[in-house]
Amino acid sequence: MPFDYTLLAVLAFLVISLLASAIKIYREYERGVLFTLGRFTKVIGPGLVFVIPAIQSVVRTDLRTLVEDVPSQDVISRDNVSVMVNAVIYYRIVDPEKAILNVENFKEATSQLAQTTLRSVLGKHELDEMLAERDKLNADIQEILDTQSDAWGIKVANVEIKHVDIDETMVRAIARQAEAERYRRAKIISAEGEQQAAEKLVEAGDILSRAPNAMQLRYFAALHDIAGEQSSTVVFPVPMDLLDKFKS
C-alpha cells in the first residue's frame, strides 16, 4: 500500500497551525487576560506564553498611557453663562483583570465619565474661575475621574482643559466689564493720590504755621517763581500779620 503524502501534509499543517495559535508573544508594555473555558485564569505576559487552543482564550491589553480627546461640552457656569469646553485626558491600565472583567469597554466608559465629570465640575464655577483657574479645575476633574475609574483598573494621570469658547455677545460684555473695572481702578488711584496730596499739604501748613521765618522764605520763593513767568500781571502774597498791623 503506497504511503499517503497528502494525509501527512494535512496533519503537518494542522500541527503547525495549532502550535502557531498556542504560542503568543507579548511585548513589554502588553499583558494578556487568560480565560480557561470562559473563566478567568490569570494575567499573562510579557514574553512568550502558551495557550491551549479551543480551551483557553486571551484578551490583549496595552499598558501604555492612552490619550482621549473629550468632545466639546455645552456647560452652564454658576453665573449662568453658556460656554463650550473641551479637554484631553491621559490615562493607562494598571490592572488588566479589572479593565476586562469589570467594564465592557473601558475606553468608552472613560470617555463618557470624562464628559459628565467635565460638565459637573465646571458647572459649579463662575466664568472668571474657568478662565483664570484652569490648573485647579484640571486637578479637581483628574481627582474625580481617578477615583471613579479605579474600579475599572484605570489610572487617570492628567486632565487638561484645552479650550473655553464663549459666545461673541458675551465676549463683548466681558470687554465692557473689563473696561469699566479699569476705569474704576483709575478713579480710585486718582482719589487716593488727591487724599495723600491733601494730607501732605495739611502737614506742610502745620509746619509753616509753627515757623514764621519759614513762611517768609516761602513768600520769597514764590516771588522768584513769579518773576520768571512771561506775564504782565504780578500778584504779591501779603503776610496776614502785616495786614493786622494796618488794622490796628
- Distance (Å, rounded) from C-alpha 113 to C-alpha 149? 8
Domain ranges for the chain, please list them: 5-62, 66-166, 174-247
Mean pLDDT lowest among 54-63, 86-95, 124-133 = 124-133
Express each pLDDT in 144-155 by its tens digit: 999 999 999 999
Phi (first) and psi of residue 34, to 5 degrees = -95, 130
Express each pLDDT in 27-57 by its tens digit: 999 999 999 999 999 999 899 988 888 888 9
pLDDT > 90: percent of the chain: 39
Mean pLDDT lowest among 29-33, 63-67, 73-77, 107-111 = 73-77
- Distance (Å, rounded) from C-alpha 52 to C-alpha 243? 122
Mean pLDDT lowest among 27-31, 60-64, 80-84 = 80-84
- Distance (Å, rounded) from C-alpha 134 to C-alpha 127? 11
1 pLDDT band (50/70/90 cuts)? very low
Angle between the N-to-C axes of helices 212-227 and 168-209, in degrees from 0 to 180, rounded to the nearest 10: 120
Q: How many CB atoms lie within 10 A of CB 163?
A: 10
143 pLDDT band (50/70/90 cuts)? very high
CATH T-level fold of 66-166:
Tetrahydropterin Synthase; Chain A (3.30.479)
Q: Which residues pair with 87 in a beta bridge?
A: 70, 161
- Distance (Å, rounded) from C-alpha 154 to C-alpha 133? 26
> Which are the contacts of 76, defined by CB distance < 8 A and separation ≥ 6?
82, 123
Helices (H), the chain: 5-22, 96-101, 106-122, 127-132, 134-148, 168-209, 212-227, 240-247
Do 65 and 91 meet the contact criterion of CB atoms below 8 Å apart? yes
C-alpha separations of 226 from 219, 223, 234, 235 in Å: 11, 5, 7, 8
Would the pLDDT of 2 be above 60?
A: no
- Distance (Å, rounded) from C-alpha 124 to C-alpha 79? 9
Express each pLDDT in 158-205 by its tens digit: 999 988 888 776 666 666 777 787 788 888 888 888 888 888 777 777
- The secondary structure of residue 229, as a DSSP letter, is S
C-alpha cell at 158: 492628567
Do 88 and 70 meet the contact criterion of CB atoms below 8 Å apart? yes
